[in-house]
Structures are given as C-alpha cells and as structure tokens.
Chains A and B, each alone.
Chain A
C-alpha cells in the first residue's frame, strides 16, 4: 500500500489541491487504492476475445494484464507477469493461443485462467537440479482478476469486494450504457493518444460539461446550431460515474432543408464547405445528439452524433497518460451508416474538431500549476454538490469525481 504523506486541505468538494496531480507517493497510492482496489477497470471489448484462446493484453492501472476467452467460454484476466522471474508472459497486443501461454524466458507455462501448469526441467536434468519437490505450482502464478461483462464491454478487478457492475454503476448510468451499447459492436479502428498530464486531469475534463462550448470552438465558429433544446448531466449517487447529454429540438429529422437551415448561419462568413460531416441520424430514437459517459476510474463511452467510441484511460506515471481510442459501429450498420461514422470520426480522436483541445489542455494545467502544489483549484460552477442537473453550466460531475476519489483514497 502506497504511503501518502499529505492530508486533504479542505472539506468542500469545490476545491482541489494541485499536489494531487504532482505527488509521486499519492500516485503510487492511487494505483493501489483505486486501480488495484475495489473498482471495475474497462479492459477490452468482448468481441476482442470472441473465441476460446483469443486474448488481448492491456493494463489495469500500471499492472499489465492478459484478457483471454477460456475453453469454458468465460473471459478470464490475470496479471501479465510470469510467476518465476516476473517477465511479461504475452508480448503481443492481441492474438490467439491454443490452451496455454508460455513465458519466453524459461518456458514456464500457464493455462487460460492464469494457473501455472508447466515448469521446464521441473525434475532437473539427468537427476540433477530441478525445482525442490515441495515447490507448489498453485502458489506461484500471476495475480488473477475477476471479470465481468456488460453490453459487450469487459471489466476486470483485483478486489473481491468490488460490487456487481450493475450495482457499481447504479440504475441511471447503467441505462445510459445500455442506450448506446445495445447491439453487437464492430471495431472501425484503434488509436492511442499520449497525453502530457496526470490521468485525473483528463478524467475531469471528460466529466466537465462547462468547458465544452468554451474550449471547443468548432461548433460555435461554424455557427452550427446544435439544435439544442436542452441537456444535462447525470451523476451516480456515489459521484464516481456520469453521463452528460444534449437533446435536439423535435423536428422532422428527415428534412434536409431544415438541416441546411439549422447548421448554417445566414449571417457569418464561416461555413462548412462540406456539411455532410454533420449529416446524422437519430439512431437511438431519443433525439439525444451527444452523450458522454464515464465509468470510474478509466472508461469513457462516447456518442457524438453517429460517432461512437470507447476510450480507455491508462495512467503512465505522475505526469503522463495514454488514451486508447476504439472507434466502433454496429455489426448491422449499412454502407451509408458506416460512411457516416467514418466521416463523423473527424469530430473526435487525437485530431478531432471537438476533442483535439482535450489532448493539450491537461498539459496546460500540469505546466501552469507546476509551482502551485499548495494552491487550490476551483470547481464551483453550480455550487458544491454532486447532484444530477438539467443544465451543463455546472461542475457537479467533476465534484462527483472528487467525492469518489477521496472515498477510495481515504482523504
């Protein structure tokens, strides 16, 4: 267990000390208490490990893990660390094995549940050497994680205490996951974005509904009326998870004329030369054009019009993280929908019209606050609470993050 050397300076959720993005001991404690603690980390899509023996390698916090479909059809996860000398067991991002993994270093082998099943020269050679006769293979394997699946997503946890995923999320957020992930998915592409900031700055950014129209000027600059009649933010009771959404005006969605009028201004000079970028379909039949959802501590599920993606947050030290983007569609998409998703992927990702700024703004905070470890960040929009609100001019979901964070960390 990492030793924390600092005390939380204030009671209110509306202030956050900057050292929380800078302190090495605090970071080590986060890995133990949050990522290796009683939380569900998203690890991969179920379709990534569709058949027995298919695996993906990823991380839970900084712990390398193997996620693999067992012969029994269940998804298993275990630490990607040989029980012998600690080398990585699997070296590829993805692949398929028959019924065992073998460490390249000394050929120790593991079944699909992570049990140590074979030791090269266990009995020695010509009666000499070998492992002691009382060496128990069952005591020397990589740590095993529990897994759970939800709507095609695979989550893993090291803790026996993590509640079932449905309880972990709460009914409201669960409903918002099911809303988007309601059909078998198809992967359209994967990209990794390296961000020069502490992982929490990105997680807060995604939960922050206040910044969207201010930092991301794309929609405003091109006078793309977002046809917004409303929106809001849902925060799970424990504060940990959220879903923010924007609702379109009720309209005859098939009317190209309305769309033309809606997305272009008569008055200004900036217009999209090719407005097909925003030619979207109300595929979930609820007029919600945009939904951003977070699952503490490492998952974002994004619907920006018809662009869908899951984003996995991986901490990589105090001042670095990776964002793993998986762009998805559904197996049943027709050619037109597929093209639409490919075009609308321009809105998101490392080069996204309404997301590229999120790649650099965390670094701006990291650098701006470099000498301010004892100063406090202000998270006061919409008060001090963490309740769901029917406006996005609030930082309720960011405060929700800190509520959950402080509980897991013992602050």
Chain B
C-alpha cells in the first residue's frame, strides 16, 4: 500500500507541476472532499477552506475556471512531496499523512516557498486504481501571498 500511495502522490504532483490540471480531478473519487485550510483552522475545528470541493464536479469546475475565467499572472509550482505515513485503515479506506513543500515560480523568475504543510488523505481502491476520497491540505501557515490559483 505504501508504494501505491507514493506513486499516487508522485503522479499527482507531476500533473500539477507540468500544468496538466485537467488530469487533477482524476486523482479523486466521484464523491470526494478536497479542501485547503491552515493548521490553525484545522486545530480549532474551523471548517472553511480557501478551496472547498465536495464533489469531483467541483474540482473540474475549478480547473475550467482557472483555464477560462480567472486572471492571474503566469506562474508554476514545484511540489516536493515527502514520504507518506500510513496512519490507519477503516474498512476499505486507508488514511495517510504526507508532508509537502510547494515553491512558486513567477514569470519574472521570482521563486518563493509558497506553501508547506501536510496532506491528510483518505484513499480507496476505485476499480483497480488508488484514488483520493478525501484530501485535506493543511497548510502550516494561514497566510497566502497574493492569491492561490493553482491547487496544492
């Protein structure tokens, strides 16, 4: 299982960093939860996220909006994803916690550590493929520079 989770994370990071955002919803099950929050909100049990999607359709809408509607300066991410810790299983669901670091590269070459944190995942075998039923992105900091367009 550990190897499958590692592979999923590697593919997930490459899809985003290579600007294949259209592939990103495919890492999630149809009914799912994807949320970006901060460690402080998470600790306090405050539920809101800067992105909050509870269906795969909402993830696809996010990608469509980034492609067709939203305006932001050209930028890319480089994800460095650490090794997952498998923290439990409940029936068919595997829970994993994985640290990440995302560097943001702006069009003028400026590079910043944009976010660090951990993915709190609930993973399931979905017809032979391991998919995310839940990925709560808990950022260590609750401060975001300028805007958050591309998902973490």
Q: Which residues of A contact B (CB under 8 A)?
A: 187-196, 215, 217-218, 220-222, 270, 272-274, 276-277, 322, 327, 338-339, 341-343, 345-346, 349-351, 353, 356-357, 359-361, 363
Contact = CB atoms under 8 A, between A and B. Distances in A.
Contact of B146 (A194, A217, A274): A194
B69 A356 contact: no
B70 A357 contact: yes
Given A187-B46, A191-B142, A193-B144, A353 B69 contact: yes
B86 interface: no
B18 interface: no
Contacts of B71: 215, 217, 357, 360-361
A191 B38 contact: yes
A342 B143 CA distance: 19
A18 B6 CA distance: 51
25 contacts: A187-B46, A188-B46, A189-B47, A194-B144, A217-B70, A218-B65, A218-B70, A221-B69, A222-B65, A270-B68, A273-B55, A274-B60, A276-B55, A277-B58, A277-B61, A322-B143, A342-B52, A346-B51, A350-B50, A351-B148, A351-B149, A356-B72, A357-B70, A357-B72, A357-B147
Interface in B42-61: 46-58, 60-61
B57 A274 contact: yes
Given A190-B41, A359-B147, A346 B52 contact: yes
B54 to A, nearest CB: 7
B72 A351 contact: no
A190 B38 CA distance: 8
B64 interface: yes
Nearest to A196: B146
B19 interface: no
Interface size class of B (residues with CB under 8 A): 35 or more
A60 to B, nearest CB: 20
Contacts of B62: 346
B125 interface: no
Contacts of B50: 191, 345, 349-351
Contacts of A360: 71-73, 146-147
Interface string B67-101: 01111110000000000000000000000000000
Given A189-B46, A218-B65, A273-B56, 9 more contacts: A192-B144, A193-B145, A193-B147, A194-B143, A221-B65, A222-B69, A272-B57, A338-B47, A357-B72
B140 interface: no
Contacts of A353: 65, 69-70
Contacts of A356: 70, 72, 147-149
Contact of B54 (A187, A218, A222, A343): A343
Given A215-B71, A357-B71, A350 B46 contact: no
B37 interface: yes
A341 B54 CA distance: 13
A351 B40 contact: no
8 smallest beta-carbon distances between A and B, as pairs:
A189-B48, A274-B57, A273-B57, A359-B147, A221-B69, A188-B48, A351-B148, A192-B143
Contact of A359 (B38, B40, B64, B146): B146
A345 B52 contact: yes
A359 B75 CA distance: 14
A341 B46 CA distance: 13
B138 interface: no
A190 B143 contact: no
A187 B142 CA distance: 15
A31 B1 CA distance: 57
B61 A350 contact: no
